[in-house]
Copies of this chain bind each other. A is one copy, B any other.
């Protein structure tokens, strides 16, 4: 009996040895090395990198190839104060694009604010006919109707698509700012945009419209300049980032900053942190979509096997440790297609600006912020409950919150707040909170819609009927 067992073991061990001679394969890991080889090959074949059209000696990061012919550039050549930095930015540039025609009275302009990683290319233009990130929402008869309005969209300050950001050359050293770039606030980004509006001679916006981070910016624009913003639309935004959202963006920054290629931000003359960017985008994608959509779209289905797979093998398919479920290949693809398109430092700075965004009164006071327009600014200091009660002795006072007190400067502006029920990054509770705070602040012209559907945070990019219809109706 023992000898039969020993014989069996010998046979078994031969199997194991056979297995040992074939090292396990990990195409998902080899992909990082393969990408690196492709980037290195492009260094020798491509012309030298010129971030923002300025000369540089390093190799070309393939993620930043802005085409200066496809957008307009606003140059601000005097120092620009920043909220969190003792030193102002010596100067800055903003890339922007426009659609429609500015009326002779310059009273039909809509400033459109982007999400984290978008460029100024919201829709196709004669000089750049490729579709923009809000292509279906901008044009004649669309949500932002170019027959009626003049739409302006900028690449945000801190971005990498033509506007000044960490990849821009610092003027003294003539090397990219990298992480010497100052930490930005959403309010800084909006102030930079108002310098562009000054330059265009636009005294008052017909409306400020934005989604995701742009929804934050849209609120900030109306708050900073109550008399210069006619209407405010905030889609899938928030008035203060929640710890959950901070956690999810922190996870992205962590994987990015742990990539040795990131090199504390100084990678512009070397390989970019493409692996960290891929991993960060995979995490981001999880927060942009929703479980119900994936359940419908992918379920538990597996990727199709390559044609050369031996289908005659018996037993269940051997699972791979690399992507095997369709949901995994989807995330892998999203990361792969983004990782060389965007500057890693821009991602870090802009996602940090989103985390820092907080419109509650104590937070605004700590930043020393106040709206630009004196008449409304004077009403910014919260009225005492006694004074309020004296005015309307029989009315029940609406309870004020730190947020409603902070949003007081928006109390006269017609506003639309739109949220998506399946959004896990900016959940509807946060946007209901903005709506309630605006009402408590005395705003009688604020509308709130909650959209159904399964698209999560990305609803604002997909739901042309729901989002577009609400925006069009409101404007």
- Chain A positions near chain B (C-beta within 8 angstroms): 5, 8-9, 12-13, 15-17, 19-20, 23-24, 26, 28-29, 32, 78-79, 83-88, 90, 170-173, 179-180, 183, 240-244, 246-248, 250-251, 253-255, 257-258, 260, 262, 264-265, 275, 279, 282-283, 286, 290-291, 294-295, 298-300, 315-316, 318-319, 321-323, 325-328, 331-332, 335, 348-349, 352, 355-356, 358, 363, 366-368, 424, 427
The answer to whether B257 and A29 touch across the interface, beta carbons within 8 angstroms, is: yes
Q: How many copies does the complex hold?
A: 2
Name 5 interchain pairs, CB-CB below 8 A, sorted by A: A12-B88, A179-B321, A242-B294, A250-B331, A257-B321
The answer to whether B315 and A86 touch across the interface, beta carbons within 8 angstroms, is: yes
Report which of B86, B257, B349, B368 forms a contact with A26, defined as CB distance below 8 A: B257
CB-defined contacts of A348 to chain B, threshold 8 Å: 321
The answer to whether B243 and A327 touch across the interface, beta carbons within 8 angstroms, is: yes
The answer to whether B298 and A243 touch across the interface, beta carbons within 8 angstroms, is: yes
In the complex, residue of chain B having the shortest beta-carbon distance to the beta carbon of A79: B12
A83-B316, A258-B279 known; 12 new pairs, CB 8 Å cut-off, are A19-B87, A26-B264, A28-B254, A84-B319, A86-B315, A243-B299, A244-B286, A247-B286, A250-B328, A251-B286, A319-B352, A325-B355
In the complex, residue of chain B having the shortest beta-carbon distance to the beta carbon of A17: B172
The answer to whether A323 and B250 touch across the interface, beta carbons within 8 angstroms, is: yes
CB-defined contacts of A32 to chain B, threshold 8 Å: 258
The majority secondary structure among interface residues of chain A is helix
In the complex, residue of chain B having the shortest beta-carbon distance to the beta carbon of A314: B86
In the complex, residue of chain B having the shortest beta-carbon distance to the beta carbon of A296: B243
The answer to whether B29 and A294 touch across the interface, beta carbons within 8 angstroms, is: no
The verdict on A247 contacting B294 (CB below 8 Å), with A16-B172, A28-B254, A356-B319 known, is: yes
CB-defined contacts of A244 to chain B, threshold 8 Å: 286, 290-291, 294-295
CB-defined contacts of A5 to chain B, threshold 8 Å: 78
The answer to whether B247 and A331 touch across the interface, beta carbons within 8 angstroms, is: yes
In the complex, residue of chain B having the shortest beta-carbon distance to the beta carbon of A328: B250
**Closest approach, in angstroms, between the C-beta of A293 and any C-beta of chain B?**
9
Report which of B84, B251, B283 forms a contact with A318, defined as CB distance below 8 A: B84
